[in-house]
């Protein structure tokens, strides 16, 4: 991995892990995305983006950071400032310019912060994570975002390029009529994009779990280790996604509080829609985590059943071989017996050995102790029940149509 990839990589594994897995910038160049908003006159050492709305209309982009304080004196102005990977000196400039609380500034610099929203005297401080699943490995990558919510300004702090800021700008531009509602409009577009990313990650995990169900009943023994390894990786990703998604309910609840005056009555339905999506994503994550645990248990049960079948086969063949061995030992005694010293005795012994072996083989096959290799997968697929649980309440997944293939769960998708 190159130095650029490490600097721009999203966080993988634990929240705030120092070793990133890969770049999650969704294919956009961080130097050119939302190029109109890039500020070339800034006291910060990091890349900055600015936007100015006045009376509900976008009037200027990419203006100097020093001019932000002048615009904030205008009661009809709304300002957005974005900093990419700032250091302590960069945030010290913002702290002095906007009167930000030092604890909030420190939280914006430190990694491993849980998703939250803190209330200070003049502003709110928000921490959230965007998420993306690597379909090849089943690993979940996260990218941390911090934001200062002021009465007439939104300041976003990105640790890397995991959150595509160009997509956030496009989300704002798609609803220009909401700009007249103040900073709540900017916060809504930001949170809506982050929650949509959580939905995409959950749906990707659902697809991966569905593929895991197919491998679960595969007859090839090489699939056993793959199912175990991938189940474990998906479970780790689901645990991480749960830590990202569940606290968002608290975040939305706090932002929607009417005494904060950041969200007016006209924006409330939009925030309630995002809150509903957060609840559904959290429920979907919980159900998938239980499903992966069930798959792990089912895989162990299937392996135990296969081991029992193998044990019965080995025992049956050992019994078939032991009886002729007993007969040859009996006829090998150095005492007279019927046919002793005559070829008739050899023929009788051979007939007894062959007859007893055939009789034991027939008895074992009749009791299913000797199953053919072709019958075992068919039997398992035909009798094993589906392990996929019902989708969460309120889900738009189609639970009526069964999936193709016996043993698979309901193959459906969560819709918005």
Q: Report the pLDDT value the prediction gives residue 280, as an integer from 0 to 100.
A: 92
Q: What average pLDDT does this structure show over 307-316?
A: 78
Per-residue pLDDT, 398: 43
On whether the pTM is more than 0.75, the answer is no
Residues 100-112 have a mean pLDDT of 89
CA 181 to chain centre: 34
Range 289-312 average pLDDT: 78
pLDDT tens figures, 153-199: 999 999 888 888 999 999 999 999 999 998 999 999 999 999 999 98
What is the residue-averaged pLDDT of the chain?
77
pLDDT digits (tens, 9 = 90+) for 230-273: 888 888 888 899 999 999 999 998 888 877 778 888 999 999 99
**Predicted confidence (pLDDT) at residue 326 exceeds the cutoff of 60:** yes
- The pLDDT value recorded for residue 11 is 44
């Amino acid at each position: 991995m190159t130095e650029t990839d490490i600097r721009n990589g999203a966080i993988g594994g634990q929240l705030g892990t120092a070793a990133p897995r890969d770049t999650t910038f969704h294919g956009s160049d961080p130097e050119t995305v939302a190029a109109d908003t890039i500020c070339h006159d800034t006291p910060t050492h990091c890349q900055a983006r600015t936007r100015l709305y006045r009376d509900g209309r976008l009037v200027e982009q990419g203006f100097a950071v020093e001019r932000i304080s002048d615009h904030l004196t205008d009661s009809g102005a709304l300002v957005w400032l974005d900093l990419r990977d700032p250091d302590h000196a960069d945030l010290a400039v913002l702290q002095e310019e906007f009167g930000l609380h030092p604890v909030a500034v420190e939280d914006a610099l430190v990694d491993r912060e849980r998703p939250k929203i803190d209330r200070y005297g003049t502003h709110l401080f928000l921490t959230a994570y965007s998420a993306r699943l690597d379909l090849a490995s089943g690993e979940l990558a996260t990218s941390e975002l911090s934001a200062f919510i002021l009465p007439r300004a939104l300041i976003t702090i990105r640790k890397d390029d995991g959150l595509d800021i160009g997509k956030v700008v496009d989300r704002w531009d798609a609803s220009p009529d909401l700009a007249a509602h103040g900073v709540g409009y900017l916060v809504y577009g930001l949170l809506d994009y982050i929650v949509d990313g959580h939905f995409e990650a959950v749906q990707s995990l659902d697809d991966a779990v569905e593929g895991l169900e197919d491998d679960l009943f595969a007859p090839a023994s090489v699939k056993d280790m793959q199912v175990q390894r991938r189940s474990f990786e998906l479970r780790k990703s689901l645990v991480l996604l749960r830590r990202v998604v569940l606290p968002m309910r608290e975040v939305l609840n706090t932002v929607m509080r009417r005494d904060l005056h950041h969200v007016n009555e006209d924006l409330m339905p939009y925030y309630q829609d995002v809150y509903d999506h957060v609840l559904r994503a959290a429920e979907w994550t919980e159900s998938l985590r239980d499903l992966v645990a069930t798959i792990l248990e089912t895989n162990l049960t299937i392996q135990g059943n296969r081991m029992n079948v193998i044990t019965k086969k080995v025992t049956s063949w050992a019994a078939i071989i032991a009886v002729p061995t007993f007969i040859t030992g009996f006829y090998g005694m150095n005492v007279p017996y019927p046919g002793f010293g005559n070829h008739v005795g050899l023929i009788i012994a051979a007939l007894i050995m062959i007859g007893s072996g055939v009789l034991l083989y027939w008895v074992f096959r009749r009791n299913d102790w000797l199953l053919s290799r072709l019958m075992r997968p068919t039997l398992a697929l035909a009798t094993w029940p589906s392990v996929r649980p019902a989708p969460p309440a309120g889900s738009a997944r189609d639970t009526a149509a069964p999936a193709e293939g016996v043993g698979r769960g309901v193959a459906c998708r969560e819709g918005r």
